């Protein structure tokens, strides 16, 4: 009887024949990718990139915060990442008096570095292929329920063993290829992280929402932090006695610049892709999931923008929230556009027809490969209405109406920070709109709508006003008063409690149907991916992203988005000046100091061979969310830029890689260093770097 392990081993020893697609697992670079990397221009050995025995480039790459990548660039734990990755930490440190988002911040020595509360970085210390431990003994005919039970039992035992072997480390065992392969990762987390430098938003966020996902791009999307440790160089809670982390490995920096065709590689933590998505899932995405997200977030963002533009204090409070929401909102717009424009669904349907024909001809009934696609199709249909309502509840209420979040907050110690970035009148306005659009677009309503109809004559605005006028949760002091009261009925009598419980009650009632659909999907997805790899055993398959460390590589290349249009592979400071728009000061303001340097052409050693200052460039690497802040390295493994975005024309890339169109947008390291030295005058940081 076939075992899942035999398939995965066969896949892992197949050499890559792909063009540039692939977020590759580090332990198999030598077997799968080194030959292709060398052909594209890489000068490194596989062991220089990843080694289980000695220091390698992998040891300089970290998870930054909860969803980005960073890289260590000095022996003293200096860290580069994107401006938008550091945005939340910068916002928390900002105030009306010290608006680091608007004005930037630069420490001029270690003593001036600012502790970033709640921020951490994680180093990957060990990686193990544990497929044999997790699924090696599970027969291929096992039911999904039994498969899940056995996997969880095996994972629990393995994690316990590894935690004993590596005390103090966090052990994570995610699945790959839909549950056909497993790796264990041992992370070491440092929690004393300090802000060292950030450009003003007019540089770090230049172009704003208008330029987001677009090329040509002129954004100096970087920020600088430092990792601190105890005197033993191990993780320690914040203390003035802590010292800069002494790095075992850091990235050298190249000022040589980039030319078209140059080799480029990116290492980081891509969050999530769905390259094995079927036509059935695409139908749901285009018809339900993306349209709902786009509409709900768009309505909320209009309200936030109005209040942010009118009040500086509100702008500081909501800047980070707005940016996070708008990024995924625009991503969803581009994703739908790209999938439709590039006929992704038709390509998926063709692959599915080929798979079904293969499965019926080449597999046994008890292996269930012939059922894989029908399982996925059923999973998208049996709970379609419940899934749609669940998403609406989450987007419109649980994520948008913040006062509900307060009532559901599990950790009260987070509440004080929450209220620092909360405005009750902004939230009131959002809540009114969310109540309106939920009723307009759903017939599965929370029970609170019965109260609105019976006591407020169906006027949800009047109901919202009543809630916000009578709740204690509009202020932190009110929350403390409510939670410290001896009479627990005071909490239950607060109008937000009734509202929150009504939303949760409906949410929970939808879960069983959604979970049943998810079980069908997991079984079909696992079988489909396993079958595809069996159908094409000579193809090098890359697993979907799941926020584990990966390598992608390619070349610096331009692209043509449409007939008659060719985009160059780089931009310069000339483009920043050309985009300045006094009528749009939020997105296209150019700082006066930057103009002075531009007029004087005072670029120092950071100018290119033509005397221009490079700002951004393109490389055809395979990235997604989570890769933000990832280092773009040259053939020698030296830092040449920071990845921060993808391009609009290939927004379908999470579902289907488009080699002719898909590009990574990176800020050129020369622009980063120019801003640090020439704009900010923080040459002490330049002196700390290893520059080639």
Active-site choice (628, 630, 652, 668): 628
Distance CA(262)–CA(568), nearest Å, equals 14
pLDDT attached to residue 688: 98
Q: Once rounded to an integer, what is the mean pLDDT over residues 183-204?
A: 98
Kindly report, residue by residue over 669-679, the tens digit of the pLDDT. Answer: 999 999 999 99
pLDDT attached to residue 634: 98
pLDDT attached to residue 365: 92
**Residues in contact with 515: Cβ distance below 8 Å, sequence separation at least 6, in sequence order:** none
Instruction: Locate 96 and state its tokens.
Output: 């009306």
Place of tokens 């270690």: 110
pLDDT attached to residue 414: 77
pLDDT attached to residue 172: 98
Per-residue pLDDT band at 97 (split at 50, 70, 90): very high
pLDDT attached to residue 488: 79
Distance CA(137)–CA(540), nearest Å, equals 24
Kindly report, residue by residue over 345-359, the tens digit of the pLDDT. Answer: 999 999 999 999 999
**Residues in contact with 410: Cβ distance below 8 Å, sequence separation at least 6, in sequence order:** none
Cα–Cα distance list, 581 to 202, 523, 578, 584 (Å): 12, 53, 8, 5
Q: Respond yes or no on whether the N-terminal peptide bond of residue 144 is cis (omega within 30° of 0).
A: no
Distance CA(14)–CA(538), nearest Å, equals 6
**SS3 at position 536:** coil
pLDDT attached to residue 680: 98
For the chain, give the percent of residues with pLDDT over 70. 97
Distance CA(385)–CA(408), nearest Å, equals 25
Q: Once rounded to an integer, what is the mean pLDDT over residues 352-375?
A: 96
Query: Which among 498, 388, 394 has a CA at the least distance from the CA of 443?
Result: 388
Which stretch of 108-122, 176-190, 287-301, 412-426 has the lowest confidence by average pLDDT? 412-426
| 164 shares a domain with 304 | no
For the chain, give the percent of residues with pLDDT over 90. 91
Give strand ranges (E) for 101-204.
105-106, 114-115, 121-129, 170-172, 175-176, 181-190, 192-198
Q: Is residue 546 part of a domain?
A: no
Instruction: Locate 194 and state its tokens.
Output: 């300090």
| 284 shares a domain with 248 | no
Place of tokens 């209420």: 397
Q: Is residue 432 part of a domain?
A: yes
Q: Once rounded to an integer, what is the mean pLDDT over residues 294-304?
A: 98
Is residue 688 a contact partner of residue 676, using CB atoms and an 8 Å limit? Answer: no
Q: Is residue 542 part of a domain?
A: no
Distance CA(425)–CA(233), nearest Å, equals 46
Is residue 472 a contact partner of residue 415, using CB atoms and an 8 Å limit? Answer: no
pLDDT attached to residue 21: 84
| 237 shares a domain with 285 | no
512, with CB counted inside 10 A (0-12, 13-18, 19+), is exposed
Kindly report, residue by residue over 392-410, the tens digit of the pLDDT. Answer: 999 999 999 999 998 887 5
How many domains are contained in the chain?
2
Distance CA(170)–CA(427), nearest Å, equals 37
- How many other C-beta atoms lie within 10 A of the C-beta of residue 341? 11
Place of tokens 């280092």: 631
Instruction: Locate 269 and state its tokens.
Output: 């933590």
Distance from the Cα of residue 63 to its chain's centroid: 11
pLDDT attached to residue 20: 61
- How many other C-beta atoms lie within 10 A of the C-beta of residue 535? 17
| 628 shares a domain with 521 | no
Is residue 652 a contact partner of residue 338, using CB atoms and an 8 Å limit? Answer: yes
Distance CA(458)–CA(135), nearest Å, equals 55
| 83 shares a domain with 165 | yes
Helix locations, 55-99, DSSP H: 83-93
Q: Is residue 151 part of a domain?
A: yes
pLDDT greater than 50 at residue 1: no
- For the chain, how far is it from start to end, CA to CA, in angstroms? 56
pLDDT greater than 60 at residue 11: no
Q: How many CA atoms lie within 13 A of 310 on its CB side?
A: 8
284, with CB counted inside 10 A (0-12, 13-18, 19+), is middle
Last residue of a domain, one of 493, 527, 561: 527
Is residue 72 a contact partner of residue 227, using CB atoms and an 8 Å limit? Answer: yes
Q: Is residue 113 part of a domain?
A: yes
pTM of the model: 0.92
Q: Is residue 553 part of a domain?
A: no
Q: Is residue 515 part of a domain?
A: yes
Q: Once rounded to an integer, what is the mean pLDDT over residues 372-383?
A: 97
Is residue 221 among the annotated active site residues? yes
Last residue of a domain, one of 494, 527, 560: 527
Q: Once rounded to an integer, what is the mean pLDDT over residues 467-495?
A: 90
Instruction: Locate 239 and state its tokens.
Output: 């203390």
| 105 shares a domain with 237 | yes
Angle at 487 between CA 482 and CA 491, to 5 degrees: 40
pLDDT greater than 90 at residue 639: yes
DSSP string across 407-470: HT-S-GGGHHHHHHT--HHHHHHHHHHHHHHHHHH-SS--THHHHHHHHSTT-HHHHHHHHHHH
| 514 shares a domain with 450 | yes
Q: Once rounded to an integer, what is the mean pLDDT over residues 606-633?
A: 97
In the DSSP assignment, the letter for residue 15 is P
Is residue 387 a contact partner of residue 517, using CB atoms and an 8 Å limit? Answer: yes
Kindly report, residue by residue over 16-48, the tens digit of the pLDDT. Answer: 333 468 999 999 999 999 999 999 999 999 999
Place of tokens 């190249």: 254
| 298 shares a domain with 247 | no
Distance CA(83)–CA(100), nearest Å, equals 12
| 349 shares a domain with 293 | yes
pLDDT attached to residue 37: 96
Active-site choice (83, 84, 307, 525): 84
Helix locations, 78-117, DSSP H: 83-93, 100-103
Range of the domain at 155: 1-258+570-644+657-692
**SS3 at position 235:** coil
Is residue 109 a contact partner of residue 684, using CB atoms and an 8 Å limit? Answer: yes
| 462 shares a domain with 354 | yes
| 254 shares a domain with 305 | no
Is residue 228 a contact partner of residue 77, using CB atoms and an 8 Å limit? Answer: yes
Angle at 273 between CA 283 and CA 189, to 5 degrees: 145
Is residue 628 among the annotated active site residues? yes
Residue positions counted in the chain: 692
Active-site choice (88, 99, 129, 221): 221
Distance CA(155)–CA(148), nearest Å, equals 10
pLDDT attached to residue 15: 32
Per-residue pLDDT band at 5 (split at 50, 70, 90): very low
pLDDT attached to residue 573: 98
Q: Is residue 559 part of a domain?
A: no
| 622 shares a domain with 502 | no
pLDDT greater than 90 at residue 235: yes
Is residue 543 among the annotated active site residues? no
**SS3 at position 528:** helix
pLDDT attached to residue 485: 83
pLDDT attached to residue 10: 37
Distance CA(222)–CA(215), nearest Å, equals 18
Give the residue with greater pLDDT, 491 vs 356: 356
pLDDT greater than 60 at residue 312: yes
Mean pLDDT of the chain: 94
Last residue of a domain, one of 527, 559, 590: 527
Kindly report, residue by residue over 553-602, the tens digit of the pLDDT. Answer: 999 999 999 999 999 999 999 999 999 999 998 899 999 999 999 999 99
């Amino acid at each position: 009887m076939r075992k899942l392990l035999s398939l995965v081993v066969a896949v892992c020893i197949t050499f890559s024949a792909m063009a540039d697609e692939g977020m590759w697992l580090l332990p198999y670079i030598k077997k799968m990718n080194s030959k292709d990397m060398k052909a594209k221009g890489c000068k490194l050995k596989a062991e220089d990139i990843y080694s289980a025995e000695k220091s390698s480039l992998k040891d300089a790459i970290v998870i930054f915060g909860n969803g980005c990548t960073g890289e260590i660039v000095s022996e003293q734990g200096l860290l580069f990442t994107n401006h938008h990755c550091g945005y939340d930490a910068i916002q928390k440190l900002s105030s009306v008096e010290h608006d680091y988002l608007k004005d930037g911040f630069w420490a001029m020595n270690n003593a001036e570095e600012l502790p970033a509360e709640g921020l951490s970085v994680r180093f990957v210390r060990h990686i193990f292929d544990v497929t044999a431990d997790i699924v090696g003994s599970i027969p291929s005919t096992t039911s999904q329920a039994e498969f899940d039970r056995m996997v969880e039992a095996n994972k629990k035992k393995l994690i316990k063993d590894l935690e004993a072997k590596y005390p103090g480390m966090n052990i994570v065992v995610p699945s790959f290829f839909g549950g056909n392969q497993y790796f264990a990762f041992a992370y070491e987390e440092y929690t004393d992280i300090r802000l060292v430098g950030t450009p003003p938003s007019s540089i770090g966020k230049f172009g704003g929402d208008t330029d987001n996902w677009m090329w040509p791009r002129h954004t100096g999307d970087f920020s600088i932090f430092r990792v601190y440790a105890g005197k033993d160089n191990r993780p320690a809670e914040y203390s003035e006695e802590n010292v800069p982390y002494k790095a075992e490995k850091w990235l050298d920096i190249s000022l040589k610049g980039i030319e078209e065709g140059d080799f480029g590689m990116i290492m980081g933590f891509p969050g999530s892709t769905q390259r094995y998505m079927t036509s059935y899932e695409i139908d749901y995405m285009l018809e339900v999931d993306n349209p709902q997200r786009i509409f709900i977030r768009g309505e909320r963002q209009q309200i936030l923008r109005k209040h942010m533009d009118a009040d500086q204090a509100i702008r500081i409070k909501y800047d980070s929230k707005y940016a996070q929401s708008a990024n995924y909102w625009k991503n969803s717009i581009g994703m739908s556009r790209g999938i439709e424009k590039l006929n992704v669904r038709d390509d998926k349907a063709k692959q599915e027809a080929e798979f079904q024909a293969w499965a019926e001809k080449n597999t046994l009934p008890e292996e269930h490969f012939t059922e894989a696609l029908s399982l996925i199709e059923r999973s998208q249909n049996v709970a379609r209405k419940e899934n749609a309502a669940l998403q609406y509840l989450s987007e419109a209420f649980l994520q948008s109406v913040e006062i509900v979040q307060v009532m559901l907050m599990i950790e009260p110690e987070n509440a004080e920070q929450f209220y620092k970035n909360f405005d009750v009148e902004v939230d009131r306005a959002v809540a009114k709109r969310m109540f309106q659009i939920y009723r307009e677009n759903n017939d599965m309503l929370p029970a609170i709508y019965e109260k609105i109809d019976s006591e407020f004559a169906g006027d949800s605005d009047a109901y919202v006003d009543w809630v916000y006028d009578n709740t204690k949760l509009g202020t932190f002091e009110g929350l403390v008063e409510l939670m410290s009261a001896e009479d627990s009925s005071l909490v239950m009598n607060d109008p937000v409690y009734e509202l929150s419980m009504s939303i949760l009650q409906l949410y929970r009632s939808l879960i069983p149907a959604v979970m049943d659909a998810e079980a069908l999907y997991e079984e079909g997805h696992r079988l489909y991916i396993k079958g595809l790899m069996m159908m094409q055993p000579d193809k090098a398959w890359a697993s979907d992203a799941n926020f584990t460390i990966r390598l992608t590589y390619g070349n610096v290349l331009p692209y043509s988005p449409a007939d008659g249009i060719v985009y160059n592979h780089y931009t310069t400071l000339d483009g920043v000046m050309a985009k300045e728009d006094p009528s749009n000061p939020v997105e296209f303001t150019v700082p006066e100091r930057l103009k002075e340097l531009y007029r004087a052409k005072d670029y120092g050693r950071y100018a290119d061979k033509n005397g221009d200052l490079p700002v951004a460039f393109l490389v055809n690497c395979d990235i997604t969310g989570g890769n933000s802040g990832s280092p773009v390295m040259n053939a020698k493994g030296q830092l040449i830029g920071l990845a921060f975005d993808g391009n609009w024309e290939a927004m379908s890339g999470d579902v289907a890689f488009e080699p002719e169109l898909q590009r990574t947008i990176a800020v050129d390291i020369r622009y980063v260093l120019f801003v640090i030295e020439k704009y900010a005058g923080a040459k002490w940081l330049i002196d700390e770097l290893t520059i080639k």
